[in-house]
Structures are given as C-alpha cells and as structure tokens.
Amino acid sequence: MDKNTIFDQLGLNDQDLQSDFMTDGDHAVTSPIDGAELARVKTTPPDEVDRMIAKSVDVQRAWRKLTPPQRGEVIRRFGDELRAHKDALGGLVTLETGKILEEGKGEVQEMIDICDFALGLSRQLYGLTIASERPGHRMMETWHPLGVVGCITAFNFPVAVWSWNFCIAAVCGNTMVWKPSEKTPLTAIACKRLLGRAAAACGFDVPSNLLQVVVGAQEAGARMVENRDVALVSATGSTRMGCEIAPRVAGRMGRYLLELGGNNAAIVAPTADLDLTVRGIAFAAVGTAGQRCTTLRRVIAHETIYDALLTRLKAAYDSVPIGNPLEDGNLVGPIIDGRSFQSMQAALSRAIDEGGRVHGGERVLETEYPGAYYVKPAIAEMPSQTGVVKEETFAPILYTMRYSDFTDAIAMQNDVPQGLSSCVFTNDLREAELFVSDEGSDCGLANVNIGPSGAEIGGAFGGEKDTGGGRESGSDAWRAYMRRQTNTINFSTELPLAQGISFDVG
C-alpha cells in the first residue's frame, strides 16, 4: 500500500482537512524510513490553541448531556472505522515512525481493543452507596466529567497512547485537545477524520469538535499546560518534559497524568527457560528499534547462566533482519532521526569508557538510505550498573550484568530513577512471588516469564518514581478523567447532625 492510497483511504486528501491542516503548510513531515517528505502541515499558532480550548469548553457542555451509553456508541463506531481502516492507518504509523508494518497494525489493534473496553465502561461508571450514621439519610458517591482534557503524545506510539486517553475520557463526558509529536502529526489528523465519520454515523446528534488537533512543538504544548480551562493534562514523553509540566499545572491547581521515562530490567534466574527467555528478551529489547517506553534496557542474569545466555543473545541479535519496515521479513526498522543516532553513539561510547564491551550498535544500510538511520541493535556487557546504565537512552541498547544473590538482583533492578516496567524469568515459585511482592519490583508493571513490553489494555498502564506515577488504559484508570462527588440526601423530617453534635438555635 503506497502513500497516496493510504492518504485516500484515511481522508487525508479530503478538501476540508486539506484546508484545515495541509494547505500552505509550513511544517514538513518526513519519514524515518528514507528521509523523504510525506506532507507539509500547518503549525497551529499559539493564540489559536487558546481558541481551540475555549471551543472545547463549549462542546463539552453539550457532550456531557449525552448519556454515557450514547457516548459509548460514538466510541463503538469509531472502533468500527478503525477496523475498516486498520491496514491504512497501520501503514501510516509505519510511514511516520519507522516501526515495522506488523507493529503499526498492532498499534491500531490496540486502539480497537480500547474502543471495546471503553464501550463496556460506558455502562459501568459506578459510584458507591455509603452507610450514613444519621437516620433518614443516604450517602452516595458519584462521578462527573472533568471538562477539557489536554493530551500530549510522543512519536513512538503516535495513536495507541492517545486512544487510551481519548476513548476513556470521552465516555466519561470530556472533550479533548490533542498535541501529537511534531514528528507524527499525520496519524493524529487521520484519527480526527475517522472519529468524525464515526460521529456522523450515529443516529443522534453528536457535538462536533469532540477532538481538536494542535500541530506544533513545545510552545503549543505550553499553551495547553498553562490554560486554566484544561482540567487535566495527560502527557507522554521524557522525564525532563514531565518535570517542566508538573509544577506549571500544579501551580494553577490543575491535574496532570504523566507517562515518562523507563529503564526496564529483566532478571534471569538459574532456573529460567532459556529458549523462552531469549525470545522474550529479543522482542522486548529490539522491537520498535528500542524506542518503546517499555523497551528492555537491562538484563541482570545469574552468574551461572550468564555466559550461555549472552552467547545465545548475540546469535539472536546477529540474525535479526534490519531494513525497510514496509517490506515483509524485516523485524527492525530505522530509529527516528539523526539526533537519536548521535545519542545512541554517545551512550555506547560512555559504556566503553565505563568498562563495557559493545557488540553491535553501528549504522547500517547507509548507502541505500542516506537520509535515514538504520542501526544494528547493541549489547553492552557491563562490569556493574554504572552511570550510563542508569540513564534511559531511547535506542536499541541492551546492558547486561551478572548477579549471584536474588535479593541483590532485585535491589539492582530497583536502583535506577525510573520505575515503569520490569520482569523476571524463573521457574522458582518463591523467586516469582518475591518479585511481585512488597519486597520485589518497585515498578508500575512487574511480569513473570514475559518481557516488560506488550502490556494489554485491560490493566492500568504506568509507573513510579521518575516515570511520573500516572495510570492510563484499563482497570480503574477512568477515574483520572472524572471528579468525585460525595452526596448526602436527607429524606426524613428531622435534621440530626453528624458526630451526634447538638446545635439548637430555636
């Protein structure tokens, strides 16, 4: 499927979207596959961001009047649009991010799954009935929409992470202003088009502009962060970005939901199934060219199986097909740009300076794709958990280290600033249970005998420490997009006071 076919199927060539986003565009969108320009889009002026937020406030007042099942119906139809256009949108994800086509389509499947989840949730926004100490009184807890949600997303998952936020926020009665990465605005524009089709297909009036898309970089995001009408800012990106957003939103008493850096580890115990372990490590460390927040970046292997594991990992790395992600058979596409390549090379140089031995990491296919950055995934054997190991480098680098005592391995896994995802490969029940206990992993995600990536939408996604503490997607993450209200109803003719207080005035 070529670019023009993808654009046609997703409505990116429709006149209204052309005039809104692409006519006289000043921002070039290029593909990391070959460096070619995909399109030019209009940058949203900062003042226009404020106007879009004000419009979202008005739209939300109408949207919240629809029943939650009606809102769920809009999301159901959005899921149908995604099913019908899975190949096209998955192809666009690949064009913009460079991830292999299988992963691009998988990201769209994740959107479909969260639509199904949100549809069911639209009939399960449960509160509580609470026992009152006062006769003739009833207490209950109800949940109400926040208003406008601002969503800032990163390039590596340009649509899935947004959908976690939007689909849940929408059935909860909120509208959204979305600023995608400036590297991947086309997928956002396509999602707006598909959502519009879904809303138009409903048998009832759906307010327009449930979703508005902001195209721009840091300044556009800053306007969302600072605007008091944005009740919640949900942001995915670096820890540095989160440290800038959090105090600014808190300073105006707003809410924020942050999904920031990860530095995810796998502990490999002596009893691990090495066939399973090698496959799990390879997918988690190499998939998406090492550009997931849940990418496996550290292996902490027991000294008795370390050498055998490393031999097999190096062989697996040498066999991984690297190339154009649109072509069948390739498992690793390019990293996003030259800046990321330089960051990777700097980290590998530091690893060597800190006593490491590096296998791989060089640029490949430079002759075929001079405007792109394909690299061989790297393994860096480290003498210990040095400074560079404790930092997240958003590239396919896997640091490997030894351990002798399992509790020391857990301490090493936890001894980094980030706290997103983690895993252990073991067939020892005690080790597995210890790892997921209070004394085990300090991350938001902790897995046994699977890698740290590939989370399902049914569970709450997010992490601790420098990862930001936010939770998105499944479980009770919906509560982040609502405000809680406690109600007390007196259906008696008396006015007893709580705590038995007497306050007679007449």
Give the contacts of 506 (CB within 8 A, at least 6 positions apart). none
HSE on the CB side for 128, CA within 13 Å? 8
Q: Has 391 been annotated as catalytic?
A: no
**Cα dihedral sign, 384-387-388-392:** positive
Distance (Å, whole) CA 238 – CA 339: 15
Mind spelling out the 3-state secondary structure of 124-170?
A: CCCCEEECCCCCCEEEEEEEEECCEEEEECCCCCCCHHHHHHHHHHH
Can you give the C-alpha Rg of the chain in angstroms?
25
DSSP 8-state symbol, 290 = G
Q: Has 293 been annotated as catalytic?
A: yes
User: Strand 175-179 and strand 148-152: pairing?
Assistant: parallel
Closest of 212, 254, 196 to residue 52, by C-alpha: 212
C-beta separation of 470 from 258 below 8 A: yes
Q: Which of 115, 167, 293, 443 is catalytic?
A: 293
Single-letter code of the amino acid located at 77: R
Alpha carbon of residue 159 to chain centroid: 9
User: Strand 363-364 and strand 374-375: pairing?
Assistant: antiparallel
Distance (Å, whole) CA 191 – CA 50: 22
Distance (Å, whole) CA 281 – CA 396: 12
C-beta separation of 36 from 30 below 8 A: yes
Q: Which of 73, 103, 259, 381 is catalytic?
A: 259
DSSP 8-state symbol, 84 = H
Distance (Å, whole) CA 366 – CA 373: 7
Q: How many CB atoms lie within 10 A of CB 263?
A: 28
Q: How far is residue 488 from each of residues 28, 77, 140, 143, 492, measured CA to CA in Å? A: 56, 38, 7, 14, 12
Alpha carbon of residue 21 to chain centroid: 25
**Cα dihedral sign, 424-302-389-414:** positive
Q: How many CB atoms lie within 10 A of CB 125?
A: 18
Which residues are tagged catalytic? 259, 293
